[in-house]
Structure formats: structure tokens, C-alpha cells
Amino acid sequence: MKNIRRERYLTKIKPFVGKNLIKIISGQRRVGKSFLLKQIRDEIKKENPDVNIIQIDYEKFEFRNLKTAESLYDYIKRKAIKDKMNSVFIDEIQEVREFEKVLRNFYSKDNFDIYCSGSNAQLLSGEFATMLSGRQIEIKVHPLSYIEYLKFRDLESTSQNLNAYIEEGGMPYLINLPKEKEIVDEYLQNILNTIFFRDIVTRYKIRDTEFLQNLVSFIADNVGSLTSATKISKYLKSENINKTAQVVIDYLRCVQNSFLINKIKRYDIQGKKIFESGEKYFFEDIGLRNVIAGFKLTDMNKILENVVFNHLVFCDFKVYVGKLNNLEVDFVAVKGSEKLYVQATYKINDEKTAAREFGNLLKIKDNYPKILITTDEIEFTSSYEGIKHYTLRKFLETMF
């Protein structure tokens, strides 16, 4: 089985190695958190061969009984060596009740360096955040970017390989499986089942699993569409599924906490404020979305938006939907003092189409970069009144 380094994340974690901070590796199941923990462990062992490694993986049967704070504490204490640095690696730590109490205890000792992974966004909220405020750093791991996808598979960037990427997504383990659609879909469906039943249904004690599945299917069908819990509730009611907007909000929060989907809010480009109502949802992995809703040519605009959103997030942007009076700009991407306006559309066929698609961006009167992304193989123009046109392939090859 291949174990390819995720250099981007190793670079991010390196400044915090050995520092008095709890390192949290978060992200959706099967995005490579366990391999990243192993790679961090190997780097630490290489730099300091004398370090004592304590490793706990809740995906393994041998750790099935370490599910309470007391049992986890006893195990770590038993494995620790008093006069050495102890590097502790805990995979899927959300499986432990009150784990934050254990981490706080060992964090306070000078000879412990702690790394955890988790598949739930609540890891850094609630009591954990209160008890360990300012004592933790989070590195969020995503499915493979297009660049990583090519590297993992040892491929060149071609339109054929791009199409394969946007259909099957970036789950790292797929590189170990035959590239047959039935096998890929079966693997992705198994990931979905695990997320549904372990990370959502069991964790949140959800009873109406049919409604949950209908809700996620609705999100998959409407990726990139501006919506709200009230609109979703009304639509489902028209399908004879009666749930209040509050129930929709509660269920969507559970799905978000599993990292299956991401919600982005609207941003007023002129007033520079964030709206609390009206949002878009995108899937963390486009392959999982395609397994739910199917991969259809008629959905290419939706799929394109999701892939563009994921790349912006991979490039560490905070992403919003742009609102300019009555117009919409697909994405406003913010990173520190940087800002990027992004419009995504399937094709530019002629000058008239170009004028329409560049139009919304032209109405933004500040000097931040503006780009239009399409699935065309050749750039329509290098610049249209200051707005750059990127083919999807070029955009996904660019680190902003």
C-alpha cells in the first residue's frame, strides 16, 4: 500500500513540533489523517531517535477498551517514560468520553508532546475549547487537491485526468484500488455509510435516518444553490416530508460536524458585512457528492463550483458567496489582507457569453484580483478588462 507524504500539511505542523501546544489534525474520515500522524511520528523519530512514542489508534480493535478518560489516562501513564520526551499520538480521539481532561493533564507536563486526530468539528468547541483555550492548534486535512491527485497517481495534467479527478474525487486510498467505476463507487459508498452511521446517526442519536438521507440527497442535488433551512423545509414539505426549519438546521449542523459538507455565508461586497440568512453548501469531497447525486453532464456547473470552492479552501482561503446589490459573485475568497473574487461557469462560447460572464466581476470597483474559471481547454483571453480567465485545469494547478 502506498504511503505518499502530504508535504503541505507536514510543513504546516513543523513549527509546532515539540512546542507546548496540543496539535489537532481534523478532517473527514478517510482523508489521510492517520497516515499524516504516522508521517509526523516518523519525522519526530528521525530528528530525535531517543523520543518515546505512545500511539493509540481507535480504528484498531486492540484499543477498544480505552473509551473513557480514566482508561486513556492510565494507558498513557503506563507507557510514558519519566526522563524522556513522550510524543503521544491519538487517532480518532472523539471516541473517548471526556478526552479533554486527559489532554489537559498531560499537556501540563514538560515531557509530553501531544498529537490527536478527529473526524468531528466539535473537537475544538464546547468544553474542550473552554478547558484548553489557547493551548491547541488545529490543522485541517482535506481530500487530495488536483496537484496531489496527480502526484499520488504519478500522472501528467491532462483533460482526461482532470475529468477523472472531478468524477471520483480525492480520497487518498483510491490510488490503491483499480480505476473501475464500480469499485470506486463501492469504496466511496462505504465511506458515506461510515460517516452516516458512525459520525452522524450514532454520535447524535438520530432516529429519522430516512430524513437524514433525503436531506443530504437534497444538498447533493443543489450544490452551489443559494438556500436556507426555511426553503429546504418548504421543499421537503412539498415532497410530503414534514420537518420544521429548526429540525433542518439541527440535522445540517450534524452533517457539517462530520465534515461531509461545508456551509458558506453571503458577504456584502459593498457593505463588507456577512449575512446570517441565505447560504450555499458544498461537499468536502466531490466524489462523495457524485456517488449520492450521480455524475451527470447537466450538473457540470454545480460540480465546477464545488471543485473551485474546494481548491480555494485548500489554498487556505476563507470563502463566502459575494452579494453586490442584486447580483451574485460565486466566491469572495479572503486570506489575511488578500482578497480574490471568483466566478465559475461551464463554457465561454462567444463574445456575448464572455460579456455576460465577466459582467458581475466588472461591477466590483475595488482593485482586488478578479478571475473567471471555465472548463474550456483554452483560455478565452489572458485578461478581459483586467479580469483573468483561467481554465479549470490551470486554476487547480495554481497555488494562490
Q: Tell me, what's the pLDDT at 305? A: 97
What's the rounded Cα separation, in Å, for the pair 272 and 366? 12
Q: Give the start-to-end residue ranges of the domains of the chain.
A: 7-140, 146-397
* Those residues with Cβ within 8 angstroms of residue 62's Cβ, 6 or more apart along the chain or in another chain: none
Which class is 7-140 in CATH?
alpha beta
One DSSP character per residue, 212-281 reads HHHHHHHHHHTTT--B-HHHHHHHHHHTT----HHHHHHHHHHHHHTTSEEEEEEEETTT--EEEEEEEE
Strand bridging mode 318-324 / 327-335: antiparallel
Q: E strands of 253-361, at which residues?
A: 261-268, 274-283, 318-324, 327-335, 338-344
Q: pLDDT digit string (tens) for 190-219?
A: 999 999 999 999 999 999 999 999 999 999
What's the rounded Cα separation, in Å, for the pair 170 and 146? 8
Q: Which residue has the cell 418548504?
A: 234
Q: pLDDT digit string (tens) for 57-82?
A: 998 999 999 999 999 999 999 999 99
What's the rounded Cα separation, in Å, for the pair 314 and 251? 26
Whether 396 and 145 have beta carbons less than 8 Å apart is answered as yes
Q: pLDDT digit string (tens) for 260-317?
A: 999 999 999 998 899 888 899 999 999 999 999 999 999 999 999 999 999 999 999 9
Q: pLDDT digit string (tens) for 81-137?
A: 999 999 999 999 988 988 989 998 998 899 999 999 999 987 766 656 677 777 889
Round the average pLDDT of the chain to a whole number and report it: 93
* Residue 380 predicted with pLDDT over 70: no
Compute φ and ψ for 167, nearest 5 degrees.
-90, -45
* Residue 34 predicted with pLDDT over 70: yes
Whether 313 and 259 have beta carbons less than 8 Å apart is answered as no
pTM more than 0.75: yes
* Residue 28 predicted with pLDDT over 70: yes
Q: pLDDT digit string (tens) for 316-347?
A: 999 999 999 889 999 999 999 999 999 999 98
Q: Tell me, what's the pLDDT at 59? A: 84
* Residue 349 predicted with pLDDT over 80: no
Q: Tell me, what's the pLDDT at 90? A: 97
